Amino acid sequence: MARPREFDEQAVLDAASDVFWAKGYEATSTRDLSARTGLTPSSIYAAFGDKRRMFLRALDHYLGRLREKMTSLKATRSPGEAITGFFEDTIKRSLGDALQRGCMLVNSALEVSPQDPDFQAAIASELKLIEYFFLDRIEEGQRRGDISPVHSAEDAARQLLAVLLGVRVLARVRPEGPLLRGAVSQTLASLGLPPLMVAAGT
């Protein structure tokens, strides 16, 4: 009979996510993970496999909160407001992060090597989930008459994804409210989406 794990897996994944998020995949060592999670290297390998597999588990854990956010916005906001709310939340979290870590997914997309197609595919798959959220909301808004059909829903979703990636990268080096709001506001206006309601002082 397998022995039950003697640690809180969710807490370990929280800790591992923080390390990978702050340092990136390549710069994170097993020693870093051991120090932050409290697990010995042998325990890490026994529970999660190698660093690569632990990273993918940590990334999936990190993205769980993002998926929950998208589900909540879809359920509680109109299609256009859901998109605007997504960006409002992104800007607030970006400006509220004193460590200027940006987004773990976006950071990983910038770091992944073309010579690692499996890793690249895993990151691309997650980015497609966000693109699909935008696409789904735009198409629903167009069906309801809340969003103008003048723009291709597919192209608008791709544009929003590109703006999101840009905002997250900018937030790492220039976490300035006017800069991030300005990068988003013009795109929302051009697509006929509700304006941002982020406080001017943030």
The Cα–Cα gap between 13 and 18 comes to 8
Q: How many domains does the chain have?
A: 2
Element housing 174 (H / E): none
The pLDDT score that the predictor gives to residue 201 is 43
Mean pLDDT of the chain: 91
What mean pLDDT do residues 154-183 have? 96
- Residue 181 near residue 196 (C-beta atoms within 8 A): yes
**Residue entry with tokens 């996510």:** 17
Asked if pLDDT for residue 188 goes beyond 80, the answer is: yes
The pLDDT score that the predictor gives to residue 8 is 86
Which domain, by its residues, includes 130?
A: 77-197
Same domain, 49 and 93: no
Angle, in degrees to the nearest 10, between helices 79-96 and 117-144 = 130
CATH number at residue 128: 1.10.357.10
The Cα–Cα gap between 192 and 40 comes to 53
Task: List the single range of 5-19, 56-70, 137-151, 181-195 with lowest mean pLDDT.
Answer: 5-19
Where residue 87 falls (left for φ over 0; alpha for ψ -120 to 50; beta otherwise) is alpha
The pLDDT score that the predictor gives to residue 115 is 83
What mean pLDDT do residues 53-82 have? 94
Same domain, 139 and 174: yes
User: pLDDT, tens digit, for every residue of 92-149?
Assistant: 999 999 989 999 999 999 888 888 888 888 899 999 999 999 999 999 999 999 999 9
Name the percent of the chain lying above pLDDT 70.
95
**Residue entry with tokens 């940006």:** 102
Nearest to 171 by CA among 56, 91, 66, 112: 91
